Structure 1
Amino acid sequence: MDKPFHIVILGGGTAGWMAANLFAKRWGNKVKLTLVESPDVGIIGVGEGSTPSLKRFFDILGIEESQWMPRCQATYKLNIRFNDWSPASGIQSYSHPFPAQVDTFTKRAFMVNAQTRRMGLATHTQPEDFLLNGVLAGQGKGPKVGAHFPFTQEYGYHFNSALLGEFLAEFAEQQGVSYRQVHIAQVNRAENGDISTLVTDNGEPLSADFFVDCTGFAGLLMDKTLGVAFTPYKENLFNDSAVVLQTPYSPEQASRIPVETESTALSAGWCWKIPLTERFGNGYVYSQDFINKEQAEQEFRQHLGVLDDSAQVRHLTMKVGRLNEHWSHNCLALGLSQGFIEPLEATALHLVQVSIELFIQQLEAGQFSAKHRAKYNELVSERFERVRDYIVAHYKLNTRNDSDYWRANRDNMALSDSLKEILHVWYSRGDLAKEIARQDISSHFDEISWHCLLAGYGAFPPLHPNQPGKGDLYQEKGIKEFLAGCALNFSAHHNNLADLV
């Protein structure tokens, strides 16, 4: 290129600043980066949790946890706990820990036990008892460990979304990203359909070679300008709204901050509970087809024990689904303008990061042309579809009978062929790991994640009347003792946080 390739990112927030930072890190002075943000648009901030991919993001940028975590009220996240999703199975709560390297020694026992239990024989199948992060979460320990423990730990974070956006903005500007706070009044297109300029409200044109739409659900570039079609997920993901509220810690809670997100099923959806260093973030994700916003707020407050109206809630509307094209003409969509699959497994930022990384790969492969645009769209849509399937399975497999909402989710047959095959293999006692490999979908959620979900829900047949009294690898292989020994190398979560300051 004779001159730097100019990219304008419209919209800040976490998605916009993640893109700006990764582009700047990868391309340096090969590109000119400008982020344009309206001064009146805030960050929605739903979720406030991540998968382990966010750790890789900071590693790529060379940002130490001590630099950003205290600034963003961040805590460590090892686990997601699900409460009351499958009460009829006799399981009131189960966990989905992030797999770690040491789990190489225990995961086979977990999968074999699940297979044995599918045959009707009694075995131990609680996911968190087979995976180190589940054991650490149960003990209130953090993920940080010295060099004497020769295994890589995987973990995510909880964080304040608004503060994280501010931190990433400052870091991006230090890397040479230009920042403009202006209103965009008009978007112009060239004869070939590409976006040519953004026009500010004072008439200033902003031109670029490429544009990134991070304008959230508004979709100013992809939806309103380019008219890219949207595929809703309404037929298999019913939730379309949320009500959120922050709650303070009690003195006891402040001294024992959890390392897990809690997800508790309510009458028409579920409630998250996310621990930050200063507070809990709470939200009730629900479907307005089954409950109105006033009823949802009342149920949410009762669940939290916060009936005082002075504690202000925020009501949000979600647009669940994805664009048919994530890269159209000379424009890329990221974040909420690209699509959203509710915050159940904290996949939102993961999908943003993966979309950015794949875009970098495909743009470079095409020498900064649109040569691989179709391939990119196929790859990212596949990611959305498979993440959606994993989330849908949580609802399809529920065993609640307390409301029409849960019964409708269980009766819903709008499932993808991929999900149907996974469930068929599980219930027909087949090899689930082999099926996931056959579909080549382990990059989305691997066989351990699927076993955590299915075993965690107690998706098993009744026990056989004649039990051999052996074949439980949890007992026979000493899994409990092995992981308890591993956990001795770790310290309390509050010690990990104190080391950051």
Structure 2
Amino acid sequence: MQNIIKKILIVGGGTAGWLTAARLAKHFKDLAVSPIEVCLVESANIPTIGVGEGTWPTIRDTLKALEISETEFINSCEATFKQGAKFVNWKHEPTDGQDTYYHHLFTSLYDPWDFNLAPYWSKGVAGDVSYAEAVSMQSEVCEAGLAPKSISTAQYEGLQGYAYHLDAAKFAALLQEKAVNNFGVRHIIADIDHVSVGDEGAIEHVVTSEGLTLEADLFIDCSGFKSMLLGNALNVPFIDLSDTLFVNRAVALQVPYENEQAPVACETISTAQSEGWIWDIGLQSRRGMGFVYCDKYLTQEEAEKRLRKYAGQDTSKIVAKHLSFQVGYREKFWHKNCVAIGLSAAFVEPLEASAIFLVEAAVNMLCDKFPHSRSEFNFIEKQFNDSFSFRWNKTIEFIKMHYVLSNRNDGPFWQDNKREQSIPLGLQEKLNHWRTNPLSKYDFSHAFEPFVMDSYQYVLYGMGFKTDLSRYHFSDKHLKKAEDMFSAVTKYKPIVHQKLPTHRELLNKLKEYSFPKV
């Protein structure tokens, strides 16, 4: 019985720490297992960045699992609805002052695993429309500024797929309140002064600056870039991937709307620049925006100047926040009795908003594979490490693909990004294959692919990627089926428009009314 897991200590708060604490404690409560204490210790001295965070549709299942009302979540976290991402000027630099864009959406009318419409779109069966317009109603929904649902739609359900933009500090506060008050998580505010590692290389306890000793059977490192447990105490190496993804700096602004009824963007807007890209996320009362760049190509001062110009209004009284980071991941995510979740495990640029999703994925696997005793650590550790090595590598490949496919040639940043030695071999192989073969579900056969076939096709064809279909057989039967499917998308577009309110209108109604519960 000495090996039974009875105590979990999470070091660090924020979204990663409190999401982990809430999910684990709720999981144990639902199972009615013998008492497992979940304790979270965090410093009072960690400032929040407050840039606005993006999520994936998986967050809806996470919130449901925590029994958080969707209305409460939206009003508490200044959240808005996210229906995908809009990539501006990624295909090529603006010509004659005209921007170009494409959409990476959350909703396609048909699943490409069942019948892939991409070859038929490439053949021109859908007519002269973009790939996103051919397979989904959602690009028009976003361009019209419409919400993905109405006030009468049940909570966490929608007429279009969606996730959220949110204020990360307020989200962490909501998770903390639920974790402590509803699920019994013990909360300690203190700085960690020392981490004690035993002779066998496992963590024995941590000591706070006030001299409090905190013991546990399993330690979860949510200490951010510091990686106090997995990195500093256990010396698990960091694999630097700055030779693949070059950006290592960001400057961020919180820009209020000019009035309370200003339209709210329905998707993350990512606008390419000569040395990086700018994110633009609409929350309820402000836009969170930031310029992600590499200091090899641009100075901090010029990056801030560029971002302020992008804002399109006077931001001289708004203080900019400058951030630096290192892209890569730990050699292991689970070592001995320590698991790293969030920034302590890995970091990639926020181009596709994968950060919170990968926290969710880690906590889900930890819940499903939670060890009953220390004797189970070795097997589960290997499974966890294999799974997340795969997920992070696939995430890096997908993000790198955006740069590789670009036709921008307006500076060394883009030129260097397309050099073969910077492109992961797996990505090179896929792109070479897809130049003469349509994408197939067998290209995405792993159960835990972070980016699915649909996502790849939105980006590939949005960026102008061409597949040579001269050897592809189009049967009359399948051509007719594709025509009918494209026609259905066209038919449903005005119906969706009629049913959906504007994004701002729905957010305003949620101040007064609630979504129906299922």
Q: TM-score, normalised by structure 2?
A: 0.87
Taking a change above 3 Å as real, the CA distance of residues 248 and 308 of structure 1, as seen in their structure-2 partners, is closer
Aligned to 1:479: 489
Letter in 2 for 1:76: F
Q: What is the Cα deviation at residue 474 of structure 1?
A: 8.8
Further displaced range: 315-324 or 357-366: 357-366
Aligned to 1:415: 423
1:366 & 1:132 partners in 2: Cα distance? 50
Structure 2 counterparts to residues 177-216 of structure 1, below 5 A: 177-216=185-224
User: Is the Cα–Cα contact under 8 Å of residues 52 and 283 in structure 2 kept in the other structure?
Assistant: no
Letter in 2 for 1:274: I
1:255 & 1:131 partners in 2: Cα distance? 26
User: Is the Cα–Cα contact under 8 Å of residues 422 and 432 in structure 1 kept in the other structure?
Assistant: no
Query: Which one of the candidate residues 394, 397, 401 is aligned to 2:402?
Result: 394
Aligned to 2:388: 380
1:336 & 1:491 partners in 2: Cα distance? 37
Further displaced range: 394-403 or 439-448: 439-448
User: Is the Cα–Cα contact under 8 Å of residues 391 and 450 in structure 2 kept in the other structure?
Assistant: yes
Q: Which secondary structure does the structure 1 equivalent of 2:351 belong to?
A: coil
**Per-residue Cα deviation, 1:228-282 (whole angstroms, up to 9, x for no partner):** 011122111000110000111123x834212111000012100000000010000
Taking a change above 3 Å as real, the CA distance of residues 46 and 325 of structure 1, as seen in their structure-2 partners, is farther
Taking a change above 3 Å as real, the CA distance of residues 106 and 25 of structure 1, as seen in their structure-2 partners, is closer
Q: Which secondary structure does the structure 2 equivalent of 1:34 belong to?
A: strand
Aligned to 2:473: none
Q: What is the Cα deviation at residue 435 of structure 1?
A: 4.5
Listed as ranges, the gaps of 5+ residues in structure 2 are: 471-478, 512-518
Aligned to 2:352: 345
Aligned to 2:456: 450
2:84 & 2:326 partners in 1: Cα distance? 27
1:494 & 1:273 partners in 2: Cα distance? 17
Aligned to 2:87: 82
Aligned to 2:135: 130
Aligned to 1:467: none
Aligned to 1:268: 275
User: Is the Cα–Cα contact under 8 Å of residues 5 and 372 in structure 2 kept in the other structure?
Assistant: no
Aligned to 2:68: 63
Letter in 1 for 2:139: G
2:213 & 2:326 partners in 1: Cα distance? 31
Q: What is the Cα deviation at residue 153 of structure 1?
A: 4.3
Q: Which secondary structure does the structure 2 equivalent of 1:242 belong to?
A: strand
Letter in 2 for 1:332: V
**Per-residue Cα deviation, 1:347-380 (whole angstroms, up to 9, x for no partner):** 0000011011112222248788303111110001
**Per-residue Cα deviation, 1:152-182 (whole angstroms, up to 9, x for no partner):** 7421101111111111111111121011111
Structure 2 counterparts to residues 232-381 of structure 1, below 5 A: 232-251=240-259, 254-306=261-313, 308-364=315-371, 369-370=376-377, 371-381=379-389
User: Is the Cα–Cα contact under 8 Å of residues 422 and 435 in structure 1 kept in the other structure?
Assistant: no
User: Is the Cα–Cα contact under 8 Å of residues 89 and 399 in structure 1 kept in the other structure?
Assistant: no
User: Is the Cα–Cα contact under 8 Å of residues 474 and 480 in structure 1 kept in the other structure?
Assistant: no
2:498 & 2:116 partners in 1: Cα distance? 22
Q: What is the Cα deviation at residue 307 of structure 1?
A: 5.9
2:131 & 2:94 partners in 1: Cα distance? 13
2:289 & 2:300 partners in 1: Cα distance? 16
1:47 & 1:422 partners in 2: Cα distance? 33
Q: Which secondary structure does the structure 2 equivalent of 1:235 belong to?
A: coil
Q: What is the Cα deviation at residue 311 of structure 1?
A: 1.8
**Per-residue Cα deviation, 1:419-467 (whole angstroms, up to 9, x for no partner):** 1222112212x03124523x53773211111110011011237999xxx
Letter in 2 for 1:279: R
Letter in 2 for 1:288: D
Q: What is the Cα deviation at residue 61 of structure 1?
A: 0.8
Taking a change above 3 Å as real, the CA distance of residues 307 and 287 of structure 1, as seen in their structure-2 partners, is farther
The alignment of Structure 1 onto Structure 2 pairs a total of residues equal to 489
1:403 to 2:411 alignment: yes
1:499 to 2:509 alignment: yes
User: Percent identity, aligned pairs only?
Assistant: 30
Letter in 1 for 2:411: S
User: Is the Cα–Cα contact under 8 Å of residues 113 and 123 in structure 1 kept in the other structure?
Assistant: no
Taking a change above 3 Å as real, the CA distance of residues 130 and 30 of structure 1, as seen in their structure-2 partners, is same
1:258 & 1:209 partners in 2: Cα distance? 45
2:447 & 2:244 partners in 1: Cα distance? 20
**Per-residue Cα deviation, 1:114-157 (whole angstroms, up to 9, x for no partner):** 4426x9x9753331452233232122221224569x98742110
Q: Which secondary structure does the structure 2 equivalent of 1:87 belong to?
A: coil
**Per-residue Cα deviation, 1:85-125 (whole angstroms, up to 9, x for no partner):** 1127998100111125x4449995741334426x9x97533
Further displaced range: 294-303 or 49-58: 294-303
Aligned to 2:38: 33
Q: What is the Cα deviation at residue 36 of structure 1?
A: 0.3
1:143 & 1:364 partners in 2: Cα distance? 39
Taking a change above 3 Å as real, the CA distance of residues 412 and 300 of structure 1, as seen in their structure-2 partners, is farther
Q: TM-score, normalised by structure 1?
A: 0.90
Q: What is the Cα deviation at residue 200 of structure 1?
A: 1.2
Taking a change above 3 Å as real, the CA distance of residues 199 and 106 of structure 1, as seen in their structure-2 partners, is closer
Q: What is the Cα deviation at residue 332 of structure 1?
A: 0.7
User: Is the Cα–Cα contact under 8 Å of residues 240 and 286 in structure 1 kept in the other structure?
Assistant: yes
Q: Which secondary structure does the structure 2 equivalent of 1:39 belong to?
A: coil
Further displaced range: 364-373 or 166-175: 364-373
User: Is the Cα–Cα contact under 8 Å of residues 97 and 128 in structure 1 kept in the other structure?
Assistant: no
2:116 & 2:218 partners in 1: Cα distance? 50
Q: Which secondary structure does the structure 1 equivalent of 2:175 belong to?
A: helix
Q: What is the Cα deviation at residue 71 of structure 1?
A: 1.2
Aligned to 2:476: none
2:48 & 2:454 partners in 1: Cα distance? 34
1:13 to 2:11 alignment: no
1:308 & 1:48 partners in 2: Cα distance? 21
1:218 & 1:442 partners in 2: Cα distance? 28
Aligned to 1:172: 179
When the two chains are superposed, the root-mean-square deviation of aligned CA atoms in Å is: 2.9
Q: What is the Cα deviation at residue 417 of structure 1?
A: 3.2
Listed as ranges, the gaps of 5+ residues in structure 1 are: 465-469
1:41 & 1:315 partners in 2: Cα distance? 15
User: Is the Cα–Cα contact under 8 Å of residues 229 and 324 in structure 1 kept in the other structure?
Assistant: yes
